[in-house]
Structure 1
């Protein structure tokens, strides 16, 4: 349990957080102005964001939940808030958020909300990955008490292991390892993600 984080995730933060439709609409409106989230509106960052919209559009249509995961969701009798730290330019966010939304929408007991990392660094800094502000980061909270139940992110464990190996390989450029990672996502089709979340749901319900 992260007691410090519980103190910075206030009811106001939850109330002002975006739902998925609002998140997507915000991104579309920024792109119409050749902008993305955050302060860096370079051509490169806007390009990443456009690619991410295509990824999310594709996954919104294609992700189908495994029966075993749906069965696990049907066992949920607690009310949860899933607060997700994200940014529009983040490739891992685009690859994982649509599946998170599918899972949340499958259960009446899960309310998924989104906040931007760079606007909430006090929260982000309570959930670092290997010392870095990696996103997406999901924080599961009890909807009544805001008590932290668990966290997930920024990638499925199988993807994280490969990504770190590629990143630390001096023979692979940043662009190359990013391409390798997105190829992994495309080939996996959220299978590892869903298998991991079935186990996570079991742990969080205990």
Structure 2
């Protein structure tokens, strides 16, 4: 199957931002998670539901990026994620806010483990890392993709992975979250701003 067919199939089982937020909130309330059910992923889903709401309310969009996004032609932004993904909790609410700036941008969200054919077209160093944002034109041609983390956060992650004496992921995740809190979504905005090209 070619990439456009894979993308079209995924769009057929995608959610709006509001539908996805409802899924996240419902899972958090019911003690569930998307994908495989285990205590850690359920814990992160609950944490992410709170975090997503907070970031959605407090994130401030940079003026330059806002101008660029408002000037974009019709696009679909296809976002791959899972409810337990901590990086997604920090970037999905911002991406949703960006899409809301322009009525010509339709944000659609899919769950990674239900869309592995799509995920496998957008690997990070061979891994199925999420979230992954894929911007598509009207003919489903890829305009750009971004994710799973801002470059600085990704470097932190690779450095942690390569250490033989690394702390458990739960401890590293706290360090990573502190970075996100201090950065206030600026790195995500800067990187998406570089990728967004307004042709006119």
The structural deviation recorded for 1:172 is 2.5
For residues 30 and 90 of structure 2, the distance between their equivalents in structure 1, rounded to whole angstroms, comes to 24
**Which residue of 43, 49, 54 corresponds with 2:50?**
54
Give me the CA root mean square deviation.
1.7
Report if the CA contact (8 A) 2:82-2:112 is conserved: yes
Q: Which SS does the other structure have where 1:149 is aligned?
A: strand
**Which residue of 166, 171, 174 corresponds with 2:165?**
171
**Structure-to-structure mapping, 1:29-178, within 5 angstroms:** 29-39=26-36, 41-76=37-72, 78-142=73-137, 144-173=138-167, 174-178=169-173
Query: Are 1:7 and 2:5 an aligned pair?
Result: yes
The total of aligned residue pairs comes to 199
For residues 47 and 26 of structure 2, the distance between their equivalents in structure 1, rounded to whole angstroms, comes to 15
Unaligned runs of 5+ in 1: none
- The one-character-per-residue Cα deviations of 1:110-169 (angstroms, maximum 9, x if unpaired) are 111101000011111111101100000111111x21111111110111211222112222
Q: Which SS does the other structure have where 2:196 is aligned?
A: helix
The structural deviation recorded for 1:205 is 4.4
Large movers: runs of 4+ above 3 Å: none
For residues 130 and 21 of structure 1, the distance between their equivalents in structure 2, rounded to whole angstroms, comes to 31
For residues 130 and 192 of structure 2, the distance between their equivalents in structure 1, rounded to whole angstroms, comes to 17
Relative to the length of structure 2, the TM-score reads 0.93
Q: Which SS does the other structure have where 2:34 is aligned?
A: coil
Report if the CA contact (8 A) 2:31-2:46 is conserved: no
Aligned to 1:196: 191
Inter-CA distance 129–32: structure 2 relative to 1 (3 Å threshold)? same
Query: Are 1:20 and 2:4 an aligned pair?
Result: no
Report if the CA contact (8 A) 2:27-2:45 is conserved: no
- The one-character-per-residue Cα deviations of 1:148-206 (angstroms, maximum 9, x if unpaired) are 1111110111211222112222233123322211111010000111111111113x748
- The one-character-per-residue Cα deviations of 1:6-42 (angstroms, maximum 9, x if unpaired) are 22111x5324310111001112222333211002x22
